[in-house]
Amino acid sequence: MKHILTTTCVTFFCLTLISPTQAQTRTETRALQTVERGYNPQRAKATGVGKAKYEFKNSRSPGQIDRVKVELKVGGEVIDIVDKKEHREKLSVQCNLDYEEKTLQVWTNAQNLSRSVRYYRRAEAAEKIGQYAFNPVLRPDRSLIAVEISSQRPLMFCPNGTLTRNELELIDVHGNSLLLDRFLPDKPLAVGDAWQPSEELMAQLLGLDEVGQTDVKCELKEITDDVARFEMKGNVAGAAEGVTAAIEIKARYRYDLKRKRLDWLGMVVKERRQASPVSDGLDVAAQLQMQIAPAEKTEHLGQSDLKDLPPRSTPELTRLSYVSKEGGWEIAYDRNWYVNRDQKGLAAAVLRRIEQGDMIAQCNVSSLSPGKPDKLVSLEEFQGDIKRALADEFQQFVEAGQTVDEANRRVLRVVLRGKASELPIFWTYYHIADQQGRQMSFAFVTEEKYAERFGKADREIIGSLRFIEPKQ
């Protein structure tokens, strides 16, 4: 099941939001009002007499360092479909993030790119789904995180090593602090004036692949001697991981008139999302509060700390890793792969590949019992085992070969064509063994119509395989 911290941010096309009760509305209003001290809705209504217009420039510049604290609370239900019946389980999440953020590049209309680097002092969560509890944390050696935002959703990666999917989803919550400056109006406004953020911007804020429809509007609500207060609310319909979802958002954010920077965000998000091939459905409500203040000093983002920081992301830097401590192996993969099932008792895992909303492949990974290096299964025996296992689904072998990889491991690779549920299918099987007799098997399956898109995605995973000492 996909990590809940990110899925609470996903929404899309055709679902209809349930109208909130009056009690729910009051709760949301209190959640937005009480977390920001000094907000007075009655005063806000009365401010702005004479319709004076105000301009809000962003003073963020390269080299500035902020201290950002985020608190996220999620409650609701996870929805699974079992035997065509909907099964629901209660969930709750409490997530806390505390990081320093150094601006590297500021977004402008001419150059649609923002860059920063962060050092996470704290990144942890407490999750509960039904009777099961989880406590994801960010490893200390992955505390340095680079952030890029262009026209796509925010991209986060660790320049010191690959993140796991759980680590990425722990820190990649909605309301990215590098993105918030883009919610300032681009022209002078009077109190009560409103504008509509773009579909692209709402997709980035909520972590969506695309937005099909949005009626979200931002409004200047109040001007005081020190701050300007804005409100954002509306509905968003879009898609992520190939499924539809619907989001209702209510938020307030604050602009410091002296520093000319946004320094606070409070947001309530309701989401209903369908189940996807890689995650369960959701019916949740999330409350997020973000505080941004100038950092007086930093011990982790100085020039010497960042001397080896790459100027931009690369496919290698953005890959994720999966470690099977029980099986004694580790793999890395691009972000189109998702760990769909983690079979710890069998030291195995199932990954699925999602591209442009289509599930184009599945990969079954299994750790095998150690064997004697001089008595490993032969290529012919391996082909025979595969043919017997597929039985009537087998049609013909396409290719088969034996090689030795850079780690001096023997690699058997067999590609064959067949049918499953009357669909033409390609299977690609691997058997890998090292000099100590440690063995792994991989089975990739993809529909023939997706074979070209799948390309060499199997070879990238196989090339990343690393044996480690198994957990006793």
Instruction: Enter the pTM of the model.
Output: 0.88
Average pLDDT over residues 285-309: 92
Q: Per-residue pLDDT tens for 88-145?
A: 999 999 999 999 999 999 988 767 899 999 999 999 999 999 999 999 999 999 999 9
Residue 81, CB-side half-sphere exposure with 13 Å CA sphere: 9
Whether the per-residue pLDDT at 366 is higher than 80: the answer is yes
Distance between terminal CA atoms of the chain? 26
Which DSSP letter does residue 34 get?
H
User: Greater confidence, 8 or 82?
Assistant: 82
Q: Read off the pLDDT band of 296 (50, 70, 90).
A: confident
Q: For residues 107 and 80, is the Cβ–Cβ distance under 8 A?
A: no
Average pLDDT over residues 313-328: 92
Report which of 191, 168, 177, 184 is spatially closest to residue 67, judged by C-alpha positions. 177
The domain defined by 4-294 folds into Lipovitellin-phosvitin complex; beta-sheet shell regions (2.30.230)
H-type helices in 178-256, by residue range? Answer: 199-206
Cα–Cα distance between 101 and 64 in angstroms, integer?
8
Q: 3-class DSSP state for residue 389?
A: helix
Cα–Cα distance between 58 and 148 in angstroms, integer?
18
Considering only 41-45, 157-161, 235-239, 350-354, which range has the smallest mean pLDDT? Answer: 41-45
Angle at 232 between CA 231 and CA 233, to 5 degrees: 125
Taking the domains of the chain in order of start, what are their residue ranges? 4-294, 320-467
User: Matching CATH topology for 4-294 and 320-467?
Assistant: no
Whether the per-residue pLDDT at 330 is higher than 60: the answer is yes
The domain defined by 320-467 folds into Protein Transport Mog1p; Chain A (3.40.1000)
Q: Per-residue pLDDT tens for 447-467?
A: 999 999 999 999 999 999 999
- Calculate the average pLDDT of the chain: 88
